[in-house]
Amino acid sequence: MGKPNESRQKGISYCFQKSEENVHKLYIYDDVTQYGTFNWSTWEYEESETSAKYFRDQLEAIPDTDTIELHINSNGGSVKEGVAIYTQLKQKACKKVGYVDGVAYSVAFLILQACDERVMGLGTSALIHNMWMSVAGNAKELRKAADDLDVLMESNRQVFLARSNLDEQRLIEMMDAETFLTPDQCLEYGFIDKVGTYQADEKDIHEKLMRQVQQLSHIITQQKSFREQMAAFHQSVEAPLTPTPKTQHEKKLANQLTNFFKNM
């Protein structure tokens, strides 16, 4: 197996690897989001490796004649980012095989539908549900937000209807109920093409675990540095200030001012 195609910032969510047979392995092992981890040292967000932009950059490096293996273990995340990733995969001419290694919930399950062949491993699960959002505003704005969600859900359902054997009313009922699905149920409804008994590459698993340990260690170090800086700041604020000795002239002037205000 060749060397991983790593980004400038080493994360744990996506990992691109090329095998001897021109198969590029891609992992979604985190929530889909536009923003990465917050860096306490720079007070800025790291580049997200689950964003549509990052995904675009990686896909551009993969020839259309090769094969992509998409491995998913994600609770979902941003609909905007997830739909963009789905669309990019659909536009990619190469063969795409999707594997659910753990869970494929919400928009992560939608991304799976972009693959030509969809496989769920034993013991895995999927979740389909209606979109939701946090919104604030007056009555008119709240009603508009609800109407906007209806439009987005209509578009979202079309993706699943195109790859399943369900009719729209049945799909609406399942999404309203926030339905969890087993691999056999997904196969029955046409959400996947087969239930696989494949085993993940032990070398891949070890490399991902090592990257997770390194990232967690980096985060702990950043947080420790931040706490030390805050502790030093508090000490400097709480430290008593040493009064500057006054000259005789300054003392005399201060007494005169005090007596002047007392006599007013």
Q: Return the domain boundaries, the chain.
A: 17-201
Lowest mean pLDDT: which of 17-31, 126-140, 202-216?
202-216
In this predicted structure, the answer to whether residue 231 has a pLDDT above a threshold of 70 is no
Closest CA to 157 of 135, 128, 123, 124: 128
Q: pLDDT: is 83 or 200 the higher one?
A: 83
Average pLDDT for 133-147: 89
Looking at residue 39, what is its pLDDT? 81
Looking at residue 211, what is its pLDDT? 65
Looking at residue 9, what is its pLDDT? 37
**Strands 35-39 and 44-47, sheet pairing:** antiparallel
Q: Using CA atoms, how far apart are residues 235 and 46, in angstroms rounded to an integer?
A: 30
Average pLDDT for 52-61: 90
Looking at residue 76, what is its pLDDT? 93
Looking at residue 7, what is its pLDDT? 38
Q: Using CA atoms in the order 45, 49, 54, 60, what is the torsion angle rounded to 10 degrees?
A: 160
Contact 25, 19 (CB under 8 A): yes
Q: Using CA atoms, how far apart are residues 17 and 262, in angstroms rounded to an integer?
A: 83
Percent residues over pLDDT 90 in the chain: 49
Q: Give CA separation, 28 vs 90, 102, 103, 243, in Å.
A: 16, 11, 11, 60
Looking at residue 46, what is its pLDDT? 79
206 confidence band (pLDDT: 50, 70, 90): low
Fold of 17-201: 2-enoyl-CoA Hydratase; Chain A, domain 1 (3.90.226)
Question: How many C-alpha atoms does 222 have within 13 Å on its Cβ side?
Answer: 16
pTM above 0.85, yes or no: no
> What six digits make up the tokens of 4?
């991983």
Looking at residue 133, what is its pLDDT? 79
Q: Using CA atoms, how far apart are residues 202 and 130, in angstroms rounded to an integer?
A: 36
Q: Using CA atoms, how far apart are residues 116 and 105, in angstroms rounded to an integer?
A: 19
Q: pLDDT: is 83 or 10 the higher one?
A: 83
Looking at residue 96, what is its pLDDT? 96
